[in-house]
Amino acid sequence: MLVKKIVDSIPTEVNKYNRFNIDKDIPKLTTEELTALVEHVRLIGYARVSTVDQAERGWSLESQIESIYSKAKEEGFQDQQILIVVEMGKSGDDPDRPALNFVLGLIKDGVGNGGKFVCLHPDRFSRSFFQGMSIYYEITNYGIDVNYIEFDYDPDNPESALMYNIHMSIAQYNKSKILANSKRGRRQKLKSGEIPGIRKIFGYDFDKETDKLVENPEEKEIYQLMVDWILNGKDGREMTCSKIAKELAKLGYKPPESNVWYQTTVSRVLRCETYKGFIYFGKSEIIQKNGKKVEIEKPKEEWFKIPVPAYIDEPTWNRVQEELDKREKRHRGRPSMHHLLKGLVRCGRCGASVASGGHSFTKNNKYYYYACTRKSTKGWVQKTGESYYQRCKGSNWRTDIIDPLIWNWVIDHLKEPEKIIQTFLEKQGNPHEIQEMQDKLSRLQSTLKDREGEKERLIFMFQKKWITPEEMNRKMEDVMKEIMEVQEEVDLLQNSLNNLLKEFDSFELLKSKLRQFYKYVTKQEHLTDQLKREILGIFINRVILYDDKVEIYAKWGEGLKVMNESGAPDPVQAIDQKFLSNRHRNYKSSQIHGRQ
Beta bridge partners of 367: 360
| 301: DSSP letter | G
How far is CA 446 from its chain centroid? 46
Give me the active site residues, please: 50
Give the β-pairing of 284-289 and 212-215: unpaired
Say if residues 434 and 497 touch (Cβ distance below 8 Å): yes
Helix (H) or strand (E) holding 294: strand 292-297
For position 353, what pLDDT does the model report?
Answer: 86
Beta bridge partners of 20: 85
Length of the chain: 596
Q: Identify residue 317 by its one-letter amino acid code.
A: W
For position 48, what pLDDT does the model report?
Answer: 85
Instruction: Enter the pTM of the model.
Output: 0.48
CA 21, CA 417: separation in Å to the nearest integer? 35
Closest alpha carbon to 110 in 488, 504, 438, 434: 488
Closest alpha carbon to 147 in 164, 131, 162, 159: 164
CA 255, CA 264: separation in Å to the nearest integer? 12
Helix (H) or strand (E) holding 280: strand 278-281
> Can you state the percent helix, strand and coil of the chain, rounding each to 5?
50, 20, 35
Measured CA distances, 210 to 41, 187, 274, 275, 276 (Å): 56, 16, 19, 20, 21
pLDDT tens for the chain, 596 residues long, are: 333 333 443 333 334 446 677 666 677 777 788 888 888 889 999 988 775 455 345 457 788 888 898 889 898 888 888 999 888 767 666 667 888 888 888 888 888 888 899 988 887 877 666 777 778 888 888 888 888 888 887 777 777 777 777 776 776 666 666 666 666 666 666 666 667 667 788 999 988 888 888 999 999 999 999 999 999 999 889 999 989 999 999 999 999 888 899 888 999 999 999 999 988 887 777 766 655 667 788 888 888 888 889 999 999 999 999 999 888 766 554 455 678 888 889 998 888 888 887 778 887 888 888 888 887 767 888 888 888 877 788 888 988 889 988 988 888 888 777 776 666 655 555 556 667 777 888 888 888 888 888 888 888 887 878 888 888 888 888 888 888 878 877 877 777 777 666 666 656 666 676 777 777 777 766 778 888 888 888 788 889 999 888 888 887 764 444 433 333 333 333 333 333 444 443 322 222 222 22
Beta bridge partners of 204: 215
For position 244, what pLDDT does the model report?
Answer: 93
For position 561, what pLDDT does the model report?
Answer: 44
Say if residues 529 and 338 touch (Cβ distance below 8 Å): yes
Longest dimension (CA), the chain: 118
For position 329, what pLDDT does the model report?
Answer: 67
User: Pseudo-torsion of CA 575, 576, 580, 584, nearest 10°?
Assistant: -130
Using DSSP's 3-state secondary structure scheme, residue 549 falls into coil
